[in-house]
Amino acid sequence: MAVASIDMSKPVPLTPMAVVAKALVFLATGLLLFAAYTVYMIGQPLFGVIVTIVALGFLFVFGLRRFYFARFIYPGIATMALFVIFPIFYTIYLGFTNYGSFNLLTYQRVQEVLLSSKIVDKSTAIPFAVAAEGDHYRVYFEDAGAGGYLSDLVALDGSTANVGASAVNSAPEVLLERRDAIKLRKGLAEISVTLPDGTELRNAGLREFASVTPEFQIAPDGNATRVTDGAVFTPDHATGFYTNAEGEQITPGWRTNIGLQNFERIFTSDGIRGPMISIFIWTVIFAVGSVVFTFALGVTLASILQWPHLRFKAAYRILLILPYAVPAFISILVFKGLFNQNFGEINLVLEALFGLRPEWNTNGFLARCMLLMVNVWLGYPYMMLLAMGFLQSVPEEQKKAAALEGAGMLRVFWTITLPQILPPFLPLLLASFAFNFNNIVLVLLLTRGGPDMPGTIIPAGETDILGSFTYRIAFMDSGTQFGLSGAITLLIFILVSIMAYANFVFMRRAANKG
Amino acid sequence: MIVENKRTLFWQKLVAHGFMLGFLVIIMFPFLVVISISFREGNFTVGDLIPRNPTLEHWYLAFGLDYTRADGTVIEPPYPVLLWMWNSVKIALIAAFGVLIVSTISAYAFSRIRFKGRAGLLDSLFIIQMFPTTLALVALYAIFDSMGDISSAIGIDSHGALIVVYLSGVMMHIWTIKGYFDSIDSSLDKAASIDGATPWQTFRMIFLPLATPIMAVVFVLVFIGVINDYPVASVLLRSEDQMTLAVGSRLYLNEFKYLWGDFAAAAILSGLPITVVFLIAQKYLVSGLSDGAVKG
């Protein structure tokens, strides 16, 4: 193989092009570093660090001539580092945090949320209307008695302002329609109006202004005091919540490192460990079953198609690979409809023929059978196509010789054909196993994991595989428990690593042989 | 095989064809039913395989047109199928182009340039490609959720975020193209190098034109892969207008709003183009797939 080379010893002539190129490299690095800083500031410090590394790498690779060769692979490596490798490890890191629907924000954001939380004094509520005057507005409050208060001019453009108000005898002649006043609600939310008696009113709903006081005050040391009863809440960084002496917690909390708690939950809580074990077993059964059945069916069909006496081969072939050609998400949804136990076509046919109405959706065992059947339907064409390729490499003479010795077709297949196609097939079977081990598209679209197992703490279904189980914990029904989901991801990661390594070794062997 | 009795051969053929036909009936059942349903009245399973009162209602709705029934009621399309198709195609095209550029260049370097740590890098990338994106979903959500604070163009519910994630899935394609480059005669680039071409020029003038067939394969593979992706898109896309086909189609079979008939028409409409593309390309795709996988 030729080794590409460039002459490193020659200095690069300083052409205008080269100067422009250098300038562009610096500009791009600057932009990336700025992006990294912004990412850091919005509460993703880890991702910010990775972006910084990518930016510096970019500067070195494209700025220095000695890294010329790395320029070819840098873009690919950088995107993979950012959006494949980093996210996997970040997901696992999240497994050591309490990140979830109650602890979604950063500590700073939680303080802001607490400070912006207000208590509305209902007794002071007073309906308001808005009068336009040029591009400014006045807020008018109708008093229960006669007359009312009219505020000074205010812009209502979203800036904070405090305006005074004076008593008037009658309402301004033209008041905005309620609908138009509602359109101004963003501006209204930012202003406060001080009445002549000194009460400060703020917008409290679509129709009213009222006296509004902040619910919490936060001292410089971080302690929050509830204004109404003076209770002091201290930030508890171990749990990620503000707590007072009585153990009362304020939501929202913030994300914080909680060590091994998620793992403790997984391994000690029966409501999680039980379903986890059964889901793991089912995941393995599902993956093995899918591989074995698709392989068996694929090889069988390929052998028949290979038979010299068979006619219409091309037509059979194209029809047989049709399930592979149709986008999987469409086929799976079609099956979801067909298998519907109340009004699906499959039960319609089964009832007409045999008087059966299998409970595909509510019976765990049947749901699992359905999942496997659909997966075999989806997967056999791939195996068949591969098998057709490998079958061609089996020498015809050997089969003939065996047949002359009196071996039947099945015997020839088991003793001559299969042993020869199995070795090249093995890595692909392993890859197929790994794929099905994480085949969450099928599960999410066909059953969403259902039917649910009884008596679990977090929703777990009979047909859930590990991947769909974590997906559901993170993004569906039970609320978003990203932390717990990340912890389970670590377990899957370990399993996938073992498979990936095994596959790697197999591939290596296959490559060395071939 | 060699001693072939005409009589047994006849029976064997009969069994073979019988098995094939029987099998095909089972395999084709879903397709036939879906076609039938798309012309059937209403959204529930009633009636026969061949619709008694065929109607184009579901097809009108799938194309985004209002349909006026015989009794005068106007039915509006439940979901923007054509918009979803456009979203899918747009994202898939951009991602496929991006992946193609990045992976072709990288594959050239891995195939032709000897640099330190090349073998180790290749091995580790090979192992990394086996980790499914589904492992990273939570982090992807968290990252893009925060990125949305910078600009909504790369936040949750944006196509930009989705494209970026798809772009990162280049590894498998680097392998496929590298296998192809490895099979190109090295005297070509030796000659170029003697004539004074830089590696970039060699790539641009010699390898790129030669790689067109494998690039077409990779392009179609990425395109189909992106259109078929469900997990990443379902996590990153939220609003109905931004959805891709794979995410949106699911809405049809909601337990509370079960639109079986409308789904059937929409499924055929959206599935047909991709199926045709696949069938045309399948011969090359399959050889590309197994080659890329086996050639370590």
What is the 8-class DSSP label of residue A66? G
Q: Are A371 and A286 in contact (CB under 8 A)?
A: yes
Q: Which residue type sits at B102?
A: V
Q: Which two tokens stand for residue A316?
A: 């059979």
**pLDDT over 90 percentage in chain B:** 20
Q: Are A443 and A449 in contact (CB under 8 A)?
A: yes
Chain A residues whose beta carbon lies within 8 Å of the beta carbon of residue B132: 435, 438, 467, 496
Smallest CA-to-CA distance from A506 within A437, A432, A418, A395 is with A432
Beta bridge partners, A365, equal none
B185-195 per-position pLDDT tens digit: 888 888 888 88
Interface test with B, best of A7, A12, A34, A88 (most B CBs within 10 A): A88
Tell me the nearest-neighbour CA distance from B255 into chain A, angstroms: 11
A90-126 per-position pLDDT tens digit: 888 888 988 888 887 878 788 888 888 878 777 778 8
Q: Alpha helices of A269-395 — where are they, by DSSP H?
A: 270-306, 313-320, 322-325, 328-338, 345-354, 364-391
Average pLDDT over residues B77-86: 90
Tell me the nearest-neighbour CA distance from A245 into chain B, angstroms: 33
DSSP result, chain B: --S--HHHHHHHHHHHHHHHHHHHHHHHHHHHHHHHHHTSSSSS--S-SS-SS---HHHHHHTT--EE-TTSPEEPPSS-HHHHHHHHHHHHHHHHHHHHHHHHHHHHHHHH---TTHHHHHHHHHHHTTS-GGGGHHHHHHHHHHHHHH-GGGSTT-HHHHHHHHHT--HHHHHHHHHHHHTS-THHHHHHHHTT--HHHHIIIIIHHHTHHHHHHHHHHHHHHHHH--HHHHHH--SGGG--HHHHGGGGEETTEE-HHHHHHHHHHHHHHHHHHHHHHHHHHHHHHHHHHH--
Could you give the domains of chain A? Answer: 16-94 (1.20.58.370), 118-214 (2.40.430.10), 269-513 (1.10.3720.10)
Can you give the pLDDT at residue A11? 58
Chain B residues whose beta carbon lies within 8 Å of the beta carbon of residue A493: 131, 135
Q: Are A259 and A96 in contact (CB under 8 A)?
A: yes
| Angle at the Cα of A329 from the Cα atoms of A325 and A334, rounded to 5 degrees | 90
- Whether B22 has a pLDDT exceeding 60, the answer reads yes
Interface test with A, best of B138, B203, B263 (most A CBs within 10 A): B138
Interface test with B, best of A329, A383, A412 (most B CBs within 10 A): A329
Helix (H, G, I), strand (E, B), or coil: what is residue A209? strand
DSSP result, A21-53: HHHHHHHHHHHHHHHHHHHHHTT-HHHHHHHHH
Q: Are B218 and B99 in contact (CB under 8 A)?
A: yes
Min mean pLDDT across A161-165, A295-299, A354-358 is at A161-165
- Whether A18 has a pLDDT exceeding 50, the answer reads yes
Average pLDDT over residues B128-155: 83
Chain B residues whose beta carbon lies within 8 Å of the beta carbon of residue A496: 130-132, 135
| Angle at the Cα of A20 from the Cα atoms of A19 and A22, rounded to 5 degrees | 65
Q: Are B164 and A83 in contact (CB under 8 A)?
A: yes
Average pLDDT over residues A252-272: 84
Tell me the nearest-neighbour CA distance from A180 into chain B, angstroms: 27
Confidence of residue B294 (pLDDT cuts 50, 70, 90): very low
pTM confidence score: 0.82
Can you give the pLDDT at residue A192? 83
Measured between alpha carbons, how far is B133 from A258 in angstroms, rounded to an integer? Answer: 25
Instruction: Give the distance from CA B115 to its chain's centroid.
Output: 34
Closest residue of chain B to A512, computed from CA coordinates: B296
Tell me the nearest-neighbour CA distance from A196 into chain B, angstroms: 41
Closest residue of chain B to A74, computed from CA coordinates: B106
Q: Are A226 and A215 in contact (CB under 8 A)?
A: yes
Chain A residues whose beta carbon lies within 8 Å of the beta carbon of residue B24: 316, 319-320
Tell me the nearest-neighbour CA distance from B232 into chain A, angstroms: 10
Tell me if B293 and A428 make a contact (CB, 8 A cut-off).
Answer: yes
A290-347 per-position pLDDT tens digit: 999 999 999 999 999 988 888 888 889 889 989 988 999 999 999 998 998 887 888 8
B109-129 per-position pLDDT tens digit: 888 888 778 888 888 887 787
Of residues A260 and A7, the one with the higher pLDDT is A260
Smallest CA-to-CA distance from B242 within B144, B153, B141, B134 is with B153
Most confident option among A200-209, A430-439, B82-91: B82-91
Smallest CA-to-CA distance from A375 within A327, A443, A316, A317 is with A443
Chain B residues whose beta carbon lies within 8 Å of the beta carbon of residue A323: 27
Helix (H, G, I), strand (E, B), or coil: what is residue A226? strand
Average pLDDT over residues A155-168: 81
Of residues A206 and A391, the one with the higher pLDDT is A391
Q: Are A301 and A384 in contact (CB under 8 A)?
A: yes
Count how many residues are written for chain B: 296
Tell me if B139 and A86 make a contact (CB, 8 A cut-off).
Answer: yes
Tell me the nearest-neighbour CA distance from B76 into chain A, angstroms: 22
Q: Which of A42, A73, A496 sits opposite B106 (nearest CB)?
A: A73
Tell me if B16 and A510 make a contact (CB, 8 A cut-off).
Answer: no
Interface test with B, best of A316, A319, A326, A405 (most B CBs within 10 A): A326
Of residues A259 and A56, the one with the higher pLDDT is A56
Distances, alpha carbon A101 to alpha carbons A255, A482, B271, in Å = 10, 8, 37
Average pLDDT score over chain A: 84
Question: φ and ψ at B75, to 5 degrees?
Answer: -105, 130
| Residue A71 CB partners (closer than 8 Å, separation 6+) | A61, A62
B211-262 per-position pLDDT tens digit: 888 888 888 888 988 998 999 999 999 888 899 999 999 888 887 788 888 8
Tell me if A333 and B253 make a contact (CB, 8 A cut-off).
Answer: yes
Beta bridge partners, A236, equal A241
Tell me if B31 and A322 make a contact (CB, 8 A cut-off).
Answer: yes
Confidence of residue A80 (pLDDT cuts 50, 70, 90): confident
Q: Which two tokens stand for residue A366?
A: 């049947």
Q: Which two tokens stand for residue A266?
A: 């997984």
Query: Taking phi first (over 0 means left), then psi (-120 to 50 degrees means alpha), and beta for anything else, what does residue B42 get?
Result: left
Of residues A512 and A89, the one with the higher pLDDT is A89
Pairs of residues, one from chain A and one from chain B, whose beta carbons lie less than 8 Å apart: 299
Confidence of residue A1 (pLDDT cuts 50, 70, 90): very low
Smallest CA-to-CA distance from A395 within A414, A422, A421 is with A421
Tell me if B130 and A496 make a contact (CB, 8 A cut-off).
Answer: yes
Count how many residues are written for chain A: 514
Tell me if A424 and B133 make a contact (CB, 8 A cut-off).
Answer: no
Tell me the nearest-neighbour CA distance from B198 into chain A, angstroms: 6
Interface test with B, best of A6, A65, A330, A425 (most B CBs within 10 A): A330
Q: Looking up tokens 């195996």, which residue turns up?
A: A383
Q: Which two tokens stand for residue B196?
A: 């004074």
Can you give the pLDDT at residue A478? 59
| Residue A66 CB partners (closer than 8 Å, separation 6+) | A8
What is the 8-class DSSP label of residue A153? P
ipTM exceeding the 0.95 mark? no
Measured between alpha carbons, how far is A187 from A154 in angstroms, rounded to an integer? Answer: 9
What is the 8-class DSSP label of residue A65? G
Average pLDDT score over chain B: 84
Peptide bond between residue B51 and the one before it cis (omega within 30 degrees of 0): no
Q: Which of A77, A493, A499 sits opposite B135 (nearest CB)?
A: A493
